[in-house]
Amino acid sequence: GDSWGIFTFLCAALCNLPALPALNCSEELGAGQSIQQTYDLTRYLEHQLRTLAGTYLNYLGPPFNEPDFNPPRLARAERVPSATVDLDLWRGLTDNARLAANYRAYSRLLCYLRVLDGQVGTAELRHRLAHFCASLQGLVLSIGGVMSSLGYPLPAGPAGPSAPPGAPAAPNDFLKKMDDFWLLKELQTWLWRSAKDFNRLKKKVPPAVVTLRLEARGF
């Protein structure tokens, strides 16, 4: 349940701290294990999102919380790169491009969610959002860790807590509700897609044999 997920998340976060001084891990351990942990984290977030989305959509009220709700995406500036992509294009992505797409998407999604956090009404919703944002931050760190361990540079982009530029605020409350709906939908789609992305990466970078050389100095 939740405690398993939190443990996984913490492991993912810890794995990406600067190398622990006492251990001397091999590089492959970093990449292989990190990919598995990132995969696990996306599954955990997917589970958490179901509860968060349910609560949030109920707060927005019908028709937003109806199962078949499918509003138009009005032509406003595209906020988040869409997760949906041509199948052949997706298959042909290099590891770097695949990871970078995930990293960029979640960084932006995190920014938007944080803005949401400052605006919602009920205390329960704020609490759930804060928890989710913390987990999502862990995912971004985890993906960054995988990229570093494979030698890829991190994509430049909005890293701060402020809302990214080029995203105008909705002109009225109803359009804002639509934006929130689509944000949650996009988040859901990305998490589905990421599970497949990381599954694919897992097969290309298998976890190597663990070689730990502990400095035996009076231990």
Question: What does the binding site for another protein look like in residue numbers (CB under 8 A)?
Answer: 58-64, 66, 71-75, 121-123, 172-175, 177-178
Give the span between the Cα atoms of 62 and 197, in whole angstroms. Answer: 34
Residue 152 vs 182, nearer CB to another protein: 182
Closer residue to another protein in complex, CB, 60/141: 60
> How far is C-alpha 107 from the geometric centre of its chain's CA atoms?
7
Q: Which is nearer to another protein, 43 or 176 (CB)?
A: 176
Tell me whether residue 28 is exposed, middle or buried, using C-beta atoms within 10 angstroms of its C-beta: 0 to 12, 13 to 18, 19 or more: middle
To another protein, the closest distance from the beta carbon of 73 in angstroms equals: 7
Tokens representing 5? 């997920």
Residue 65: CB minimum distance to another protein, A: 9
Q: Which is nearer to another protein, 123 or 169 (CB)?
A: 123
Q: How far is the CB of 192 from another protein (least distance, A)?
A: 25
Task: Evaluate whether 24 touches 215 at the Cβ level (below 8 Å).
Answer: yes
87: Cα within 13 Å, side-chain hemisphere: 0
Using CA atoms, how far apart are residues 185 and 178, in angstroms rounded to an integer?
Answer: 11
* Minimal distance, residue 177 CB to another protein, in Å: 7
